[in-house]
Chain A
Amino acid sequence: MVETTYTEELIHRLKTGEISPEEHLEEKLDTIRSRDSELNAFITVTEELARKLTQKAAEAIKEGHGELFYGLIWGIKDNFALKGVRMTCGSKMLEHYVPPYTATPVERILENNGVIVGKLNMDEFACGSSGETSYFGPTRNARDPERVPGGSSSGAGAAVAAELVDLALGSDTGGSIRNPASFNGVVGLKPTYSLVSRYGLADLAMSLDVPGPLAQDAFGIALAMEAIQGYDSRDRVTAHRRLPFLDSLDSFDPDRTRIGFTEALLDGVEPAVRKATLHVLKFFESKGTEIVEVELPDIWAAFPTYYLVMYPEFASAMQKFDGLKYGHRVDGQTLYDTVARSRAEGFGKEIKRRIIMGTYISMAEHAGKWYTLALKARSMIQRSFQRALERADFLLFPTVPVLPFKLGERINDPVQMYMADALTVPANLTGMPAISFPGGWKDHLPIGVQLLGNHFQDHFIVSAVRFFEKEGRPWSE
């Protein structure tokens, strides 16, 4: 049994003065200097800002109110605004963009004595599952630099795993937090849609996007969620709720829990991923948890439905990038030429592909045929997950069907690349919370296992991961 985990131990040391926030920051800056030239997890390192924030945290600790973070080091995915610091979204389009305001989750990190050490690399505009589409070059996997770190919060996954930061803020539209958490062997939570404000997050698809944390352990996730969750008048969809993440962290009771499982969720996954998933399932069963067979007959449809919903929302979100108000500009003879050329030069391949797909799907002559169809399919998938969760407290299945693959292996095959999202998109389509945590290791490569719970049961699935961290052990081969 594990007594304390990484983040818990660190908070204890910072709180008691065993290590000062200044010393802790210097340690992290050294690690960034020595490892990030290889990993490329950062787009911008904000050393000066971090020193100021560290001083502030140190003073707060002295005065006895250093909570929640006591100077823990944060990295922020580069699609969240931090006033005065360049925000690129991993794109040439925003290479020199400096936002005039700060995103709500970032503001809440600062209010709680978090120290932001930089902006993290990501797939361009969060479009990617491998971390390879960034204009600023690919990020590398922290466990094996020959392999991809997953995406789109690629820098977040790698930076947490390589201990360049203690916590990272990511965003998840179809798996962008959980996929890199899985590929780098860390924990990542996609919260219930509307639990965390999107104000200041560059949108990918508004009905699916949600900010969330990546950490070494469930404690780090709970701590981060305590700060960033909750209503925000600047994001109208945010719920009037706060969930008891820290208070319920150690309250998981295996005897009073039912886990939903179906073989359909293991269809086509790699053997090692399958073994790790079944290992975690058996662990819970051995502790007294009831395993309930659930039916998800239309699970295969989640992946095409996701793309039918996401493409048009994305195309719409990207209309604002026209080279007129901010961002990359190529001057043409007419307004149309200026916009079309600015976009042609400012966007990478995957962005253009998605904008064009989305424009096609939402064109008047196709809208009924495609988008309405997608909304019906999305409703159907929501209903079947709701039915499954009437019989179980959460579902357990793999995060990604495959192990981290080699850089360059799938980048020219968009369909193969999209397949990596097959098991993460249901949480976004349904709005339900899902968490990925290391459930196994194949040699040195991590395997993420995912728990998907009912709306606003985020704290419950975090406590289940905490229980596994303390009482269980990941599968290995």
Chain B
Amino acid sequence: MGITREELLHVAKIARIELSEQEIEELLPQFNEILSLLERVKSLPLSDETTIKTTENMDEFREDRVAPFEDPDAIVEQFPRREGRLAKVPRNL
């Protein structure tokens, strides 16, 4: 049980996080230690039932209505890079 360095790098890539060499060294044993702790759940006599109830209005729906946002400029101001009122991002292709 446990994951390899290559697997860890693959997961980090999917998670969109660049890891330094030092971070990889530190994270790999911790990752495996945590996983083996979580594995203990497998020893529970679990049934196939999942009956989680988190709220009373799970099945309640509301009508989809447009509500104007009072201060759109405050959102635009938060763009890290912008051109006019547009957020500027690097090329994706």
In the complex, what residues of A have CB within 8 A of residue B52's CB? 207, 375, 378-379, 382
Q: Report Cα–Cα, A135/B23, bound state, in Å.
A: 17
Is B66 part of the binding interface, using a Cβ–Cβ cutoff of 8 Å?
A: no
**CB atoms of A193 and B55 under 8 A apart:** yes
A-B contact number at CB 8 A? 173
Q: Which of B41, B42, B55 contacts A239 (CB 8 A)?
A: B55
Query: How many residues of A are in contact with the other chain, CB < 8 A?
Result: 74
Does A272 lie at the interface of the complex (its beta carbon under 8 Å from any beta carbon of B)?
no
Query: Looking at the complex, which one of B8, B50, B56, B90 makes contact with A194 (CB distance below 8 Å)?
Result: B56
**Shortest distance between the CB of A57 and any CB in chain B (Å):** 24
A344 within 8 A of B: yes
A431 to B3, CA, bound (A): 33
Partner pick for A380 among B31, B44, B70, B89, CB 8 A cutoff? B44
- Is A100 at the interface (CB under 8 A from chain B)? yes
Q: Which A residues touch B46, using CB under 8 A?
A: 373, 376-377, 380
Query: Hey, what's the 0/1 contact readout for A299-315 against B, CB within 8 Å counting as 1?
Result: 01100110110000001
Q: Does B6 contact A (CB under 8 A)?
A: no
Per DSSP, are chain A's interface residues mostly helix, strand or loop, or mixed? helix
Q: Is there an interface contact between B90 and A373, defined as CB atoms closer than 8 Å? A: no
- Grouping DSSP codes into helix (H, G, I), strand (E, B) and loop, the B interface class, with mixed when no group exceeds half, is loop
Q: Once bound together, how far apart are the Cα atoms of A240 and B60, in whole Å?
A: 11
Q: What CA separation (Å) do A377 and B39 show in the bound complex?
A: 12
Asked whether A304 and B89 contact (CB < 8 A) given A193-B54, A380-B44, the answer is: no
List the A side residues contacting B48 at CB < 8 Å.
Answer: 376
Q: Least Cβ distance of A15 to chain B in Å?
A: 34
- Cα–Cα, bound, A323→B38 (Å): 32
Residues in B whose Cβ lies below 8 Å from that of A352:
17, 19, 23, 27
Q: Mark B4-21, 1 if CB is under 8 A from A, else 0.
A: 000010011111111110
Decide if A315 touches B15 in the complex (CB within 8 Å): yes
Asked if residues A100 and B3 are in contact (CB atoms below 8 Å), the reply is no
A382's partner among B53, B72, B87 (CB-CB below 8 A) is B53
Chain A neighbourhood of B81, CB < 8 A: 329, 331
Complex contacts, B14 vs chain A, CB 8 Å = 359, 363
A193 cross-chain contacts in B, Cβ below 8 A: 54-55
Interface string of A308-351 (1 = CB under 8 A from B): 10000001000100111111110111111111110110010100
Contact with A along B43-81 (1 / 0, CB 8 A): 010111111111111101010000001111011011111
Partner of B44, one of A241, A344, A375, A377: A377
A237 at the interface (CB under 8 A from B): yes
The answer on a CB contact under 8 Å between A336 and B54 is no
Contacts of B40 in A (CB 8 A): 300-301, 304
Determine whether B25 belongs to the interface, using a CB cutoff of 8 Å to chain A.
no
Note all chain A residues with C-beta closer than 8 A to B20: 344
CB of B27, distance to nearest CB on chain A (Å): 6
Please name all residues of chain A whose beta carbon is closer than 8 Å to the beta carbon of B54 when the two chains form the complex.
193-194, 207, 237, 431
Q: In the complex, how many angstroms separate the beta carbon of B51 from the nearest chain A beta carbon?
A: 5
Q: Inside 8 A of A332's CB, which chain B residues have their CB? A: 90
Which listed residue (B8, B51, B80) contacts A383, Cβ 8 A?
B51
**Which residue of A is nearest B80, CB measured?**
A329
Q: Are B44 and A298 in contact (CB under 8 A)?
A: yes
Extra 11 A-B pairs, beta carbons < 8 Å, given A329-B80, A338-B89: A97-B78, A99-B74, A100-B69, A101-B70, A194-B57, A331-B90, A332-B90, A343-B17, A355-B17, A376-B46, A379-B52
What are 8 A-B contacts with C-beta separation under 8 Å?
Answer: A193-B55, A237-B55, A240-B56, A326-B79, A340-B17, A375-B52, A414-B34, A431-B54
Residues of A bordering B, CB below 8 Å: 83-84, 97-101, 193-194, 207, 233, 236-241, 298, 300-301, 304-305, 307-308, 315, 319, 322-329, 331-341, 343-344, 347, 349, 352-353, 355-360, 363, 370, 372-380, 382-383, 414-415, 418, 431
Name B's A-contacting residues (CB within 8 A): 3, 8, 11-20, 23, 26-27, 30-31, 33-34, 37-42, 44, 46-58, 60, 62, 69-72, 74-75, 77-81, 87, 89-92
Nearest 4 pairs of A and B residues by beta carbon: A100-B74, A329-B80, A326-B78, A344-B18
